[in-house]
């Protein structure tokens, strides 16, 4: 899978960071915070793009992958608290409390094209429940942004949830609902409910 991104290299004090963003943020995608869940609404293009960025996070352990979502179109029944998304490898040890300042220093960035694999690895579901398993996501919400921090393996194993929605969601428009549930986190992490939507704000049709 190939898609364009912008690469930013802002500094905080003596340290330089790498932030990768889609060159064109998805127009029909939304991430909403709920008490018990995190609800992601996506059309086919957005699902493929976010799945690609999820895979990019697996191969870019020194970068923060930022997906702006708060200004995208929204399904009519979405909640009111919208979030952006940042994906990062746990070894980066970036404090979410520093994100607002870093975000303000991104600048225009440099455009490039990246390639990620959409192959789906075999997942040992039983191993996910082992006490010694460290390939889990940790979540934090700060500065209107959901931070998903995890290992390369965790990102590789879960990118397929978005590709699944992109591949099969459009075929279920008669049922008005197709989703995937992403729960690969520690005990404090909320499930991310990824729902396909084929009609958005400004569309003639309704969901």
Say how far apart CA 204 and CA 8 lie, in whole Å.
Answer: 37
SS3 34: coil
> Between β-strands 145-150 and 84-89, what pairing exists: parallel, antiparallel or unpaired?
parallel
DSSP state of 137: B
Say how far apart CA 130 and CA 122 lie, in whole Å.
Answer: 17
**pLDDT score at 183:** 81
49 near 22, Cβ under 8 Å?
A: yes
**pLDDT score at 131:** 46
**pLDDT score at 185:** 64
What contacts 175, CB < 8 A, 6 or more positions away? none
Kindly report the pTM of this predicted structure: 0.87
Edge to edge, what strands does the sheet with 2-8 contain?
Answer: 110-115, 2-8, 18-22, 63-67, 84-89, 145-150, 138-142
Q: Which residues of the chain register pLDDT less than 50?
A: 76-79, 130-133, 204-207
pLDDT digits (tens, 9 = 90+) for 117-174: 888 766 555 555 544 446 688 899 999 999 999 999 999 989 999 999 999 888 776 5
**pLDDT score at 134:** 63
**pLDDT score at 155:** 93
**pLDDT score at 73:** 55
Alpha helix (H) ranges present in 29-151?
A: 44-59, 99-103
CA distances, 19 to each of 67, 83, 133, 203 (Å): 10, 17, 28, 33
One DSSP character per residue, 42-73 reads E-HHHHHHHHHHHHHHHH-TTEEEEE--TTS-
């Amino acid at each position: 899978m190939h898609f364009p991104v912008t690469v930013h290299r802002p500094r905080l004090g003596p340290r330089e960071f790498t932030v990768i963003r889609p060159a064109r943020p998805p127009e029909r995608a939304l991430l909403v915070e709920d008490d018990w869940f995190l609800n992601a609404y996506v059309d086919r293009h957005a699902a493929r793009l976010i799945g690609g960025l999820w895979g990019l996070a697996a191969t870019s352990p020194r970068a923060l992958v930022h997906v702006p979502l708060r200004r995208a179109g929204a399904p009519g029944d979405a909640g009111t608290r919208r979030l952006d998304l940042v994906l990062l490898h746990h070894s980066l040890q970036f404090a979410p409390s520093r994100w607002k300042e870093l975000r303000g220093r991104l600048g225009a960035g440099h455009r490039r094209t990246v390639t990620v694999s959409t192959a789906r690895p075999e997942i040992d579901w039983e191993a996910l429940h082992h006490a010694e398993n460290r390939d889990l996501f940790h979540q934090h919400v700060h500065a209107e942004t959901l931070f998903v921090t995890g290992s390369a393996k965790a990102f590789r194993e879960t990118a397929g949830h978005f590709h699944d929605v992109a591949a099969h969601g459009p075929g279920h428009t008669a049922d008005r609902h197709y989703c995937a549930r992403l729960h690969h986190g520690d005990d404090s992490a909320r499930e991310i409910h990824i729902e396909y939507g084929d009609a958005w704000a400004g569309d003639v049709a309704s969901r």
